[in-house]
Amino acid sequence: MSRESSKQKHANRKPQQSKEPGRVSVESLSVTQREFNALLAECDFISKVIQIYREDAAREFADRKKYAPNHSAVEFEEGFRFQEEFIRKYLPGWLWSITEILTLEAFCASLGEPLEKSKMAELVNFSFVERGPGERLLKDGRNEIWNRHLLGWALGQVLSKFKVGSAITLAATAKKINQLPKRGMLRKMKRALTGKHLQKLLQDHDIDWLKEKKRYQNRLAEEKRIKKTAK
């Protein structure tokens, strides 16, 4: 195989990606990616990155609290919990993709020719913008107002209003979200949420509905137990 044909073959290769970084089975990873993930785990890299951003977020929260004292530590913990879960799930796959792309560029450079700009743009777009089936999708920026932060905030607002655990359903939650005051981003809502639409949004934004539902049901059960004990 000639040098040119070898370079073209490798430049056309897409980076290997799992369909759902962080939840892919170990068996489906390449040997190199398993070793890469083992190295991240060995140096506790992901946890250290999260800690850096947690400390930064805590400083910002402390500054904001000086001017908005009604913001509670519970709100901060709730917000950062979503961020931590997101980073822990997706950062390993992103780091792997970056490493693969850089390694491919190094391979092309070793052949005496830099990787073409169009090929680099194609690889980056494939890995981080378009992504594949089953992967986390980006908002198209046209009709959809919902992002993970806004959706998490809305859930926190309405789930706490339920008085009976069995009443917490997707349809009932969507209805309560529709009844929230139309302020901020909610003013841009063009259509009311349905249970099915809410379910899709939760999946797209990687929010575990059953986990959130169970958490609030447990809270209601604990409040009921405390009231019963107080009597």
Domain ranges of the chain: 3-130, 148-230
Distances (CA, A) of 67 to 53, 63, 64, 93, 118: 22, 8, 6, 38, 48
How far apart are alpha carbons 25 and 21 in whole angstroms?
10
For residue 112, is it left (φ>0), alpha (ψ between -120 and 50) or beta? left
Instruction: Quote the pLDDT of residue 134.
Output: 54
| Residue 169 DSSP label | -
* Ranges under pLDDT 70 in the chain: 1-29, 131-144, 231
Instruction: Quote the pLDDT of residue 144.
Output: 65
Backbone angles phi and psi of 126, in degrees to 5? -65, -45
Instruction: Quote the pLDDT of residue 132.
Output: 60
- Chain segment 191-230, per-residue pLDDT in tens: 788 999 999 889 888 888 999 999 889 988 888 888 878 7
How far apart are alpha carbons 221 and 152 in whole angstroms?
22
Would you give the end-to-end CA distance of the chain in angstroms?
84
Instruction: Quote the pLDDT of residue 70.
Output: 72
Apex 173 CA angle, 167 and 178, nearest 5: 140
Residue 162 one-letter amino acid: F
- Whole-prediction pTM: 0.50
How far apart are alpha carbons 29 and 17 in whole angstroms?
9
